[in-house]
Amino acid sequence: MAIINVAQREIRCKIVYYGPGLCGKTTNLKYIHRMVPESAKNKMISIDTETERTLFFDFLPIDLGTVHGFQTRFHLYTVPGQVLYERTRVAVLTGVDGVVFVADSQPNKMRDNIESLKELARNIQNEGKKFKDFPLVLQYNKRDMPNAVPLEQMNYYLNSQLNARSFEAVASRGVGVFDTLKYISKLVISKL
C-alpha cells in the first residue's frame, strides 16, 4: 500500500519482482543497484543461500524523482522463486502496489512460468485486490538464449488473458531492465 506523506512531501510505493526460480529477478535488482546514481539509492539487502538462491527476499530502496512536488521513493523487492517458498512469497507481497512478473524465455521453463503467474494471481486476489486491474508488467527475460520461445508464443501462454504491457529483457546485461522499471513505476503512480 503506497504511503503518501504530505508533511515530508514523499510518496512511497512497493514493487515486487515475482516469477519462477532462476528467471532473473535478483539479477534485475542487482543491475538497478549498480546503475542508479549514489544519491538515489540505499544499500541493497539480499537474504540468500550460499548458491545465491533468494531465501527470503532482496530489498532495494531507490528514489525516482518528483511528481507534483512529491519525492517518489520505490521499495523494490524480489520473492524467492523456488516452489517450496510460497508462504514467503505471500509475506513479501503484503502491501504491494505493483508487480513485475519476470518470465524465463527458455522452452523448458514455460510450465514454471505459467504456474508462477497463476499463483501470483491467486495471491493478489487473496490480498483483496482484483488481479485484472492490478498494476502489472511482464518481463520476458533471457531473450539471449538461442532456444528462446518466440515472442508470440510467450504472449499466447502468459498474456492472452491479461493483455499487460510486456518487455523483452536480457537482465544479465541490463537490457530491458530500466524500461520495465520505468513502466511499472509510472503505472503505479498513475493509479494512486
Ligand X SMILES: Nc1nc2c(ncn2[C@@H]2O[C@H](COP(=O)(O)OP(=O)(O)OP(=O)(O)O)[C@@H](O)[C@H]2O)c(=O)[nH]1
Residue 145, number of CB atoms within 10 A of its CB: 14
C-beta of 174: minimal distance to ligand X in Å?
A: 9
54 is an interface residue for ligand X by CB under 6 A: yes
24 is an interface residue for ligand X by CB under 6 A: yes
86 is an interface residue for ligand X by CB under 6 A: no
CA distance 30 to 28: 6
CA distance 75 to 57: 12
Subset of residues 66 to 125 that bind Mg ion, contact rule: CB under 5 A: none
44 is an interface residue for ligand X by CB under 6 A: no
Q: For residue 182, give the nearest of 104, 76, 94 by alpha carbon.
A: 76
All cell numbers assigned to 106 = 527458455
Residue type at 180 in one-letter notation: T
Residue with Cβ nearer Mg ion (70 or 101): 101
Subset of residues 96 to 155 that bind ligand X, contact rule: CB under 6 A: 141-142, 144-145
Q: Which of 18, 27, 96, 99 binds ligand X (CB under 6 A)?
A: 27
Q: Which region, judged by CB under 6 A, interacts with ligand X, from 21-29, 31-39, 61-69, 152-160?
A: 21-29
Q: Which region, judged by CB under 6 A, interacts with ligand X, from 52-60, 115-123, 154-162, 178-186?
A: 52-60
170 is an interface residue for ligand X by CB under 6 A: yes
- Buried/exposed code over 48-87 (b: 16+ C-beta within 10 A; e: otherwise): eeeeeebebbbbbbbbbeeeeebebbbbbbbbbbbeebee
54 is an interface residue for Mg ion by CB under 5 A: yes
27 is an interface residue for Mg ion by CB under 5 A: no
With beta carbons less than 8 A apart as the criterion, state whether 174 and 32 touch. Answer: no
CA distance 90 to 105: 24
Residue 145 interface partner, choices ligand X, Mg ion, none, CB cut-off 5-8 Å depending on type: ligand X
Residue numbers at the binding site for ligand X (CB under 6 A): 19, 21-27, 52-54, 78, 80-82, 141-142, 144-145, 170-172
